[in-house]
């Protein structure tokens, strides 16, 4: 039997060699990458309705395609890179906001050269419309992107979403009332101030917690109905003053009415949850009522823009900016 080497040198030779700092760093980096991939997988794994916490449950006819709770703005906005049941809602209004932002700058460049009679007032009233459209669509896209973050952030995003609706409604009325009642500045001022006050009221009931309780729900609904319907009174007044033919030219009445019909139709489909209520689970990713409503909002805003451009042309050609 051979002798066992118990010398210090022998023990030293049999001891494991220490790892180099570079190999240890590589192992740490590999572990970090593995954890990141695992976290990314967890955050991009879509959930079923039954997996959702109560604060996420809104439409029981949408059964799948839900993002997990993220508790991270980065993860929530990162969800723009993969398909889920909010993808269409986010991208439809994000692209819509980009369109109206570009269209606003284009029109601003074209207003002055197009007509010598164009004034700063034309720029202001169209700026109100474009600002309202961009704010509404941008805030809506933001809300749908962060709606899976956490209860507090989702609640804040919902307030942002309602504020955007107010901006769009008020901003849309400004050019319509300016061109429609150009020859009656007193009436124009009254109607603009009334709509602005209603808009402030709707903004207040959207943000102040006291008015967001169930007891105040009828009041909140009434405020938004009043804001949406506030455009009917000046239209009827204009019809009485000028007649349908003149109102069509001054306010593009038919296009204004069409954009209102689009809003109403989209809102009705959204309220009754159609078509998904007829086939739960079939419209989870594509074609749900909320997505249809989003497209109606973009189409209605584009229709209103076209109508106001026609009113602008009439104002500076036939009327010559004169009464």
Residue ranges of the annotated binding site for Zn(2+) are: 144, 290, 294
> Which pair of tokens denotes residue 281?
């689970």
Tell me which DSSP letter residue 285 carries. S
For the annotated binding site, the residues are 144, 290, 294
Q: How far apart are CA 145 and CA 169, in angstroms?
A: 23
Q: How far apart are CA 22 and CA 176, in angstroms?
A: 69
The burial of 238, by beta-carbon neighbours within 10 Å (0-12 exposed, 13-18 middle, 19 or more buried), is given as: buried
DSSP for 214-269, written as a single string:
GGGHHHHHHHHHHHHHTTHHHHHHHHHHH-HHHHHHHH-HHHHHHHHHHHHHHHHH
Report the phi/psi class of residue 2: left, alpha or beta, with left for phi > 0 and alpha for psi in -120 to 50: beta
**Distances in Å between the alpha carbon of 319 and those of 25, 77, 246, 315?**
77, 49, 11, 5
- Helix (H) or strand (E) holding 312, with range, is helix 289-316
Cβ atoms < 10 Å from Cβ of 87:
20
Please count the CA atoms within 13 angstroms of the CA of 299 that sit on its side-chain side.
Answer: 14
Nearest to 76 by CA among 64, 88, 90, 65: 90
SS3 of residue 319 by DSSP: coil
């Amino acid at each position: 039997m051979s002798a066992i080497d118990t010398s210090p040198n022998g023990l030293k030779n049999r001891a494991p060699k220490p790892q180099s700092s570079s190999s240890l760093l590589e192992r740490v980096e590999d572990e970090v990458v593995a954890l990141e991939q695992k976290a990314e997988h967890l955050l991009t794994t879509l959930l079923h309705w039954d997996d959702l916490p109560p604060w996420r449950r809104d439409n029981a006819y949408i059964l799948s395609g839900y993002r997990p709770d993220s508790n991270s703005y980065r993860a929530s906005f990162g969800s723009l890179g993969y398909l889920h049941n909010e993808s269409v809602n986010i991208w439809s209004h994000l692209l819509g906001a980009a369109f109206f932002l570009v269209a606003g700058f284009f029109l601003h460049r074209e207003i002055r050269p197009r007509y010598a009679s164009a004034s700063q007032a034309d720029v202001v009233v169209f700026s109100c419309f474009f600002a309202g459209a961009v704010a509404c669509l941008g805030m809506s896209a933001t809300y749908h992107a962060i709606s899976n973050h956490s209860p507090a952030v989702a609640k804040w995003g919902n307030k942002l979403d309602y504020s955007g609706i107010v901006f769009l409604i008020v901003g849309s009325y400004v050019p319509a009332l300016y061109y429609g009642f150009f020859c009656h500045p007193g009436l124009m001022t009254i109607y603009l101030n009334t709509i602005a006050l209603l808009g402030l009221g709707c903004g207040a009931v959207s943000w102040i917690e006291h008015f967001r309780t169930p007891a105040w729900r009828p009041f909140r609904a009434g405020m938004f109905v009043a804001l949406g319907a506030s455009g009917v009174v000046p239209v009827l007044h204009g019809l009485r003053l000028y007649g349908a033919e003149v109102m069509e030219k001054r306010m593009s009445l038919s296009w204004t009415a069409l954009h209102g019909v689009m809003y109403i139709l989209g809102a009705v489909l959204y309220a009754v949850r159609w078509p998904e209520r007829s086939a739960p689970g079939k419209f989870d990713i594509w074609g749900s009522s909320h997505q249809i409503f989003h497209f109606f909002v973009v189409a209605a805003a584009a229709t209103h823009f076209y109508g106001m451009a026609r009113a602008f042309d009439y104002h500076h050609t036939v009327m010559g900016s004169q009464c």
